[in-house]
Amino acid sequence: MPVSFRDIATDLRQQIDEGRYMPGDKLPMLTQLQAQYGAAYQTVRSAISLLAQEGLVVAVRRRGTIVRERPEKRRITRSRQVFRDEIGYYFDPTAQPWVALEPPDLRWGAVPVDVADLMGLAQGSEVLIRDRVMGVAGTRKPKQIATSYLPASIARGTRLAEADTGPGGIYDRLEEMGHRPLRWSEGVSARMPSPEEAEALGLLADVGVPLLRVVRVTTSSTGEVVELNDTRMSAEEFEIGYSIRRHASARLTDDGEDDDDCY
């Protein structure tokens, strides 16, 4: 039976995983792989394309197919708490020192279909969109894209629609506008980046690195959604971590002692 491109990709992937090809190593030329696997040129090419989509290799001009360097992942611990410093509210201690690398991009537009239901808005409703690329101040290396969507009925004609929203940012302004106390909930998912997102985060658009996506919904004391924040970052560089605590139903009892801190 002729070897398939998936068979070739599986074998090369295993060799990469086992360290026979290390980051920075060059894979054999396509013609060499043809001879090695007894496969057609297009079959070998499809196998390499699959590995590139998975983010394992990258084609480098005049060098060939190179095994990609993969950065050590940093864990973002979601402690299910909101914090505050002199700048305002924040949700992730890892990202606390990051700053906006450029002034926010502000525009009015239709609410995206995939967040309309989360915001309780009809499709096509107008929202204020605030885009920011956040990163390390010294190196100016981008780490995440944070996009806020605010209902036009709340944001229009207010400081929320200005580039500089003042001390405490949009959350302090929302609370000053009578929406206090704000409450938050969030969900985590993943998807592939758009070309614009890949460029903004310094990702190579053709290597198949997905985005880690954290969507946080902000509600007022009445339960009205006053903002939705969609944060995207490289799933190759970051992972979500959290501690697991015992529920009362899992309390230790075998030794006759209860763990009062485990629920």
Spell out the domain ranges in the chain: 5-67, 74-241
Instruction: Quick: pLDDT tens for 53-63.
Output: 877 898 888 88
The CA distance from 125 to 9, in Å, is 46
DSSP-derived 3-state class of residue 196:
helix
Per residue in 90-127, pLDDT tens? 887 888 888 999 999 999 999 998 899 999 999 889 99
pTM of the predicted model as reported, rounded to 2 decimal places: 0.73
Instruction: Band the pLDDT of 75: cuts 50, 70, 90.
Output: low
pLDDT digits (tens, 9 = 90+) for 143-192: 999 999 999 999 999 999 999 999 999 999 999 999 999 999 999 998 88
Average model confidence (pLDDT) across the chain: 88
CA distance 106 to 118: 21
User: Domain spanning 5-67 has what CATH number?
Assistant: 1.10.10.10
Q: Is the pLDDT of residue 73 over 80?
A: no
Rounded Cα gap, residues 219 and 255, in angstroms:
44
How far is it, in rounded angstroms, from Cα 75 to Cα 96?
A: 14
| Six-digit token string for 260 | 């009062």
Q: Does 8 score more than 90 pLDDT?
A: yes
Give the number of other Cβ atoms within 10 Å of residue 85's Cβ: 8
pLDDT at 55: 78
CATH number of 74-241: 3.40.1410.10
